[in-house]
């Protein structure tokens, strides 16, 4: 038998999976629920939630900052967008997206404009002028000379063997009938654009799977043979719309579409509605397609030091500075792949891009190496895989240094991340109901919560000790099984446990309530700071169970700086 005193004054690794219980030098816990790891390494009970409003149904939350500095919260529901400022509803807009579309809706913001993309819908532009918001279809710019659209054109794979016989049409000298050598056209081609005979055409009528009627600006000359060199507009009802979006080096960038998943389209510099490649001048539009042995579907784009392209099969980057049609330095750096079943917006944390892997079980940190040449995709969830379960939303609060990941089971996995002091700690948040979505606006973390069939908009408030003034929540922190001199003891006797507290008003240890000296249970009174102890904890033969658990449901603040155990062990 050997006496020991073991003090844990840092919980910097948060909750860790059971396979790490026998690892030495881990400052972790076997369970951490509704508590955070603070910058000094201690534990603090999470904030409560304050109710704002009830929403009409399943919601997705998005932050939107406008040019005057105001930060709004967008709550998207079934064909609606509610816009909030500081917790007040300021406007309700009609949108084209059903609740089923929201999970794959992506967006990018520049100054006071936000553009939304979805592979099945025309992109939408949200702007504020001057005291109201407006949402409308994104439009490509037109050329004044012939009113053609500056929209990109491509030759899709399923059209590679298609030839078009052009014949005159009685509707006018700028109309023509296009007949293909096999079934090809669909009703979705109507109002779409084609490019052949050195001009743009708009499809006016669907006749059959081999015939359509189209018109162009001005007259044309009938070709003497079927046309094999032609292309279609990259976007439209027939081919789908952009899947992902960002702004990079003053270009609007679309990534992937329903029928061209590996394409990247970049607008002209400073002219974000113009995708005309022109003659390849430095400021003109760019189109590239990712080529590799594995099929690439672009999941999302991130503008950082370089243009990062996250696909289902790997992580690419375009490092050209400046980025011009003649200078596109593109390279695949890693092969992790991104989550494809829904859009989980990558977050920028301390210079790195944080994203969910293709498996949905890893949180990856994409960052450049020390030479600034190659990217690595380190696993931030390696010690807490059990907490990464079917993510549905993600957002980072830079003020709190806290990453929130909403899971499909209504629980949030939370990463407290502060590399400057060595904190990378996982925990979970639970409430009376299910978390559905999360967003950060003006330093506040907002959530959509489903409680008894009602969707509620709420935010975490440091002045709240319960959820919405009604629901208390349980907080739990359990220690790791004890290790002794690099061994797993087979018998432990604990004589005393000492917890050092800071400004706390409530404490339960191992199902016993600890009385705190001179605590006045009033909102504006200070809590207790100092050491409290629990004696004669008993003998344990099951040494894989946690030796201590701090827990409670009382709506009072609690901060634990360290936990010390006194006793003896037998190996």
Please give the full DSSP string across 266-277, using - where no structure is assigned: E-BTTBTT----
Please state which of the ranges 345-354, 418-427, 478-487 shows the lowest mean pLDDT: 478-487
Per-residue pLDDT band at 455 (split at 50, 70, 90): very high
- The predicted pLDDT at position 539 comes to 64
Q: What is the pLDDT of residues 268-280, one digit of tens each?
A: 999 999 999 989 9
Overall pTM > 0.85:
yes
Task: Give the whole-angstrom CA distance, residue 479 versus residue 389.
Answer: 23
For residues 177-203, average pLDDT: 97
For the chain, the domains span 2-46+476-570, 153-233
Handedness of CA 381, 382, 383, 384 (dihedral sign): positive
Per-residue pLDDT tens over the stretch 524-556: 788 999 999 888 766 665 667 888 999 999 999
What is the percentage of the chain residues whose pLDDT exceeds 90? 81
Provide the pLDDT confidence category of residue 1 given band limits of 50, 70 and 90: low
Q: Which residue has the tokens 């390696």?
A: 382
Give which of 525, 523, 529 is closest to 501, Cα–Cα.
529
Summarize the confidence of residues 485-513 as an average pLDDT.
86
According to the model, what pLDDT value does residue 260 have? 96
Residue 540 has a pLDDT of 62
- List, in sequence order, every beta strand (DSSP E) within 169-323: 175-180, 193-196, 199-208, 211-215, 231-233, 242-248, 251-257, 263-266, 286-289, 298-303, 307-311, 315-318
| C-alpha 482 chain-centroid distance | 37
Q: Which CATH architecture has domain 2-46+476-570?
A: Sandwich (2.60)
Beta-strand runs (E) in 10-87: 14-15, 28-29, 31-33, 35-37, 43-45, 48-55, 60-65, 71-77, 80-85
Phi, psi of 142 (to 5 degrees): -115, 150
Calpha distance 83→105 (Å, rounded) = 17
Cβ atoms of residues 234 and 256 within 8 Å = no
Q: Which residues contact 4 (CB under 8 A, 6 or more apart)?
A: 484, 565, 566, 567, 568, 569
pLDDT band at 4 (very low <50, low <70, confident <90, very high): confident
The pLDDT tens digits for 300-314 are 999 999 999 999 999
- Average pLDDT, stretch 504-512? 91
CB 528 within 8 A of CB 504: yes
Using 50, 70 and 90 to split pLDDT, how confident is the model at 567?
confident
Report pLDDT for 542. 64
Q: Which two tokens stand for residue 298?
A: 């672009």
Instruction: Specify whether the CB–CB gap between 235 and 255 falls below 8 A.
Output: no
Instruction: Work out the mean pLDDT of the chain and round it to a whole number.
Output: 93
Kindly tell me if the per-residue pLDDT of 402 is higher than 80.
yes
Q: Which of 68, 74, 130, 67 minimizes the C-alpha distance to 107?
A: 74
Residue 104 phi, psi dihedral angles, 5° rounding: -110, 15
Which are the contacts of 545, defined by CB distance < 8 A and separation ≥ 6? 481
């Amino acid at each position: 038998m050997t006496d020991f005193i073991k003090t844990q004054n840092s919980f910097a690794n948060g909750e860790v999976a059971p396979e790490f219980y026998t690892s030495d030098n881990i400052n972790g816990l076997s369970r951490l629920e509704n508590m955070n790891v603070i910058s000094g390494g201690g534990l603090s009970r999470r904030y409560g939630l304050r109710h704002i409003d009830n929403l009409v149904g399943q919601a997705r939350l998005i932050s939107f900052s406008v040019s005057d500095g105001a930060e709004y919260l967008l709550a998207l529901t079934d064909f609606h967008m509610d816009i909030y400022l500081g917790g007040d509803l300021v406007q309700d807009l009609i949108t084209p997206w059903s609740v089923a579309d929201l999970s794959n809706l992506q967006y990018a913001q520049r100054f006071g404009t936000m553009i939304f993309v979805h592979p099945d819908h025309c992109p939408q532009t949200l702007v504020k002028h001057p005291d109201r918001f407006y949402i409308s279809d994104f439009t490509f710019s037109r050329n004044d000379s012939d009113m053609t659209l500056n929209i990109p054109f491509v030759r899709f794979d399923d059209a590679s063997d298609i030839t078009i016989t052009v014949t005159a049409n009685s509707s006018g000298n700028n109309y023509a009938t296009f007949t293909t050598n096999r079934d090809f056209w669909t009703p979705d081609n109507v109002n779409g654009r084609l490019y052949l005979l050195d001009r743009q055409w708009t499809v006016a009528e669907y006749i059959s799977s081999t015939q359509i009627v189209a018109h162009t600006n001005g007259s044309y000359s009938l070709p003497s043979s079927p046309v094999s060199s032609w292309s279609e507009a990259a976007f439209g009802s027939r081919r789908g719309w952009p899947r992902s979006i960002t702004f990079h080096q003053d270009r609007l960038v679309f990534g992937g579409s329903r029928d061209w998943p590996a394409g990247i389209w970049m607008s002209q510099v400073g002219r974000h509605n113009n995708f005309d490649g022109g003659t390849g001048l430095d400021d003109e539009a760019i189109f590239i397609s990712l080529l590799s042995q594995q099929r690439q579907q672009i999941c999302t784009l991130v503008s950082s030091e370089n243009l990062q392209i996250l696909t289902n099969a790997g992580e690419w980057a375009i490092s050209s500075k400046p980025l011009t049609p003649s200078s596109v330095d593109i390279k695949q750096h890693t092969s992790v792949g991104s989550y494809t079943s829904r859009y989980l917006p990558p977050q920028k944390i301390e210079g790195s891009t944080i994203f969910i892997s293709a498996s949905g079980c890893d949180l990856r940190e994409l960052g450049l190496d020390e030479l600034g040449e190659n990217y690595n995709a380190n696993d931030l969830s390696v010690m807490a895989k059990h907490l990464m379960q079917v993510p549905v939303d993600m957002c980072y609060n830079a003020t709190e240094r806290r990453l929130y990941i909403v899971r499909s089971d209504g629980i949030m996995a939370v990463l407290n991340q502060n590399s400057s002091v060595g904190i990378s700690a996982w925990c979970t948040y639970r409430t009376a109901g299910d978390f559905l979505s999360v967003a950060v606006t003006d330093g506040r973390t907002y959530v959509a919560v489903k409680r008894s069939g009602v969707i509620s908009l709420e935010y975490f408030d440091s002045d709240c000790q319960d959820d919405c003034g009604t629901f208390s929540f349980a907080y739990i922190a359990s220690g790791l099984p004890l290790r002794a001199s690099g061994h797993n003891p087979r018998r432990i006797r604990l004589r005393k446990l000492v917890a050092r507290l800071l400004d706390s008003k409530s404490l339960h240890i191992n199902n016993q309530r600890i009385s705190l000296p001179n605590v006045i249970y009033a909102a504006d009174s200070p809590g207790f700071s100092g050491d409290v102890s629990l004696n004669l904890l008993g003998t344990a033969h099951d040494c894989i169970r946690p030796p201590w658990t701090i827990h409670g449901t009382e709506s009072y603040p609690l901060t634990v700086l360290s936990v010390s155990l006194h006793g003896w062990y037998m190996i």
